[in-house]
Structure 1
Amino acid sequence: MSLNRAVRRGTTAAAALSATAALCLFVPSSAAAGPSAVELPPPGAGFDYQIGGAYTPPQGVRIVSRDLGATPARGLYNLCYINAFQAQPGAEREWDADLLLRDASGDVVHDEDWDEAVLDIRTAAKRERIAAKVNRWIDSCADKGFQAVEPDNYDTYTRFPDHLKASQAKAFVSLLSAHAHDKGLAIAQKNTPDLAVDREETGLDFAVAEECGEWDECDMYADAFGDRVLVVEYSAKGLEKACAGWGDRLSVVRRDVGVAPEGASGHLRRTC
């Protein structure tokens, strides 16, 4: 999984639909238009971030993000977490060798914080091939009953500026947006506040923002996505700032860095 800056990650999750919540429908932008409207998360609703392991959602939660390998929470709005821009630890061999980003010496470029190989999205041809694999995961999300997909590591280009550009990240995520919409799924912008203003171009529907309170970035997401921003903080300070500035508008939760499931060592969950 991939968490923003010092924290980032999950494994790949599943989700279900909210029969009780009054959820709005959204017609995708032309950049990623699907055949029909998609269902968006209810603004400001209770949220839980379970990408490190699924457990019974606490009372008041209406939105849950889980790994692709998990089962959606019944009766809730579920996000399906996938690692879209980097290879999961140990999964490097599952990718064609030429789709792994390499440096001038021919060595695979790794995100050392998470021991993940970076995918090579620098050309249109490679973006299409990588998207074909990721889109099969999106198909699985739809088959399991998720309402939305959360593709992680949109911000990989910011960590490897010698190799990748923002324009390449936007071109790639636009392919995923188009496919998600074709499958009837909404798609989240994961982190990457500098690209929030480009949501119409990329076809992204709402945001999952890690530590936007901590780093004073929540306004950048809210300016682009309105009240449909799901905030995940990892510190008491971050939660306090997010709640003080945005707790009456956005969905805010604090989790432990390892996003451990309830009952596991280190598990922590707080809200405003």
Structure 2
Amino acid sequence: MSRPLPVLAVALVLLAVLAGCSGGGERGGDAVWQPRPGLDWQWQLDGPVDPSVNVAVYDIDGFENTAADVDRLHRDGRRVICYVNVGAWEDFRPDRDAFPRSVLGRPNGWHGERWLDIRRMSVLRPLMERRFDMCRDKGFDAVEPDLMEGYANNTGFPLTARDQLRYNRMIADLAHERGLAVGLKNDLAQIPHLLDDFDFAVNEECAQYDECGRLRPFTAAGKAVFHVEYAEPTARFCPMARELRLSSMLKKPELGTWRRPC
């Protein structure tokens, strides 16, 4: 027969359990962060980060911000997401010369960017590992990997949905191996296949295209959806966002400091 735990031991066990249940903007133990639905957030990829916005979560560029920037946000009680492009080459990044020309496809519409051949996982994996190492070493809590639906675009490569699933799952694994949460960026069609692999979602303009309902599996699973619109007025999408428990706001496309949350 087991002996009852002393009162002090019971208290220590309870404290350990509570420490593992932190969420939102609080920083907990070593477990991968799980953002809950409805958290307020700021998405700023343009210009020096403005730490004054009173939100639980910041999403900022991994290359352009320092460990000191991340630490300052943490001291203010924020969680911080590391924006990294995983689907396109960018000619303005310091690791641009590490990408062989054979994996560079068509321009994707953004200045200085070209789609990547995501089938070449043996080539791209070590490059993405180094990028995610950077996010981890700077102290970020999570990664926002951008351009995760090349298969649905004219990349210059014959990419398939299966190719994309394999690549996206590799990206999720790389983040989790480093103790980082990871978000599924757009790629609505593959949510049923990728829900278990990702800790949250990041979406652009689901209201404009009447697709926000496709994000419901994330919030139903207790996982945040960080959502922005660029053209729709808040009166058009905020009631729906509240119903779906999306973390929604209106932003300008350059993703500076300006925001209008629901």
Local SS of the residue matching 1:219: helix
Residue matched to 2:51: 56
Larger Rg: 2
Q: 1:269 and 2:254 equivalent?
A: no
**Retained in 2: the 8 A contact 1:212–1:242?**
no
**Does structure 1 retain, via aligned residues, the 8 Å contact 2:37–2:219?**
no
**Percent same amino acid at aligned positions?**
28
| Change in CA separation of 1:184 and 1:87 when aligned onto 2, cut-off 3 Å | same
For 1:114 and 1:166, how far apart are their aligned partners in 2? 26
Q: Work out the CA distance in 2 between the residues paired with 1:213 and 1:99.
A: 33
Q: Report the equivalent of 2:159.
A: 164
Name the SS for the 1:207 alignment partner. strand
CA contact (8 A) 2:41 2:226 kept: yes
Q: Which runs of 5+ in 1 are unaligned?
A: 1-18, 25-35, 102-108, 262-267
Partners of 1:112 and 1:56 lie apart in 2 by: 30
1:252 has 2:248 as partner: yes
State the Cα distance separating 1:22 from its structure 2 match.
4.0
Change (3 A) 1:134 1:57: farther
Classify the secondary structure of the residue corresponding to 2:116: coil
Indicate yes or no: 2:232 matched with 1:230: no
* Correspondence for 1:264: none
Q: Return the match for 1:100 from 101, 104, 125.
A: 104
Shift of 1:113: 3.9
SS at 1:247 equivalent: helix
Structure-1 separation of matches of 2:187 and 2:52: 27
- Supply the AA of the counterpart residue of 2:116: L
Report which of the two has the higher share of helix: 2
SS at match of 2:56: strand
1:208-242 per-position Cα deviation (integer Å, ceiling 9, x unaligned): 011112222221112244351111111243x3333
Of residues 209-218 and 77-86 in structure 1, the stretch that sits farther from structure 2 once superposed is 209-218
Residue among 27, 43, 50 paired with 2:37 = 43
1:112 maps to what in 2?
109
Q: Residues 147 and 160 (structure 1 numbering): CA distance in 2 closer, same or farther, change over 3 Å?
A: same
C-alpha distance in 1 between matches for 2:124 and 2:159: 15
Q: Which has the higher contact order (CA 8 A, sep 6+)?
A: 1
Amino acid at match of 1:42: R
> Which position in structure 1 is the counterpart of 2:168?
173
Displacement over 6 Å in runs of 4+: none
Alignment of 1:206-245 (within 5 A): 206-226=200-220, 227-237=223-233, 239-245=234-240
2:132 equivalent in structure 1: 138
Structure 2 portions without partners, runs of 5+: 1-18, 25-29
Distance 1:196 1:225 in 2: 12
Look up the SS of the partner of 2:58 in the other structure: strand
Report if aligned partners of 1:85, 1:154 keep a CA contact under 8 Å in 2. yes
RMSD: 2.3
Contact kept, 8 Å, 1:81 with 1:149, in 2: the verdict is: yes
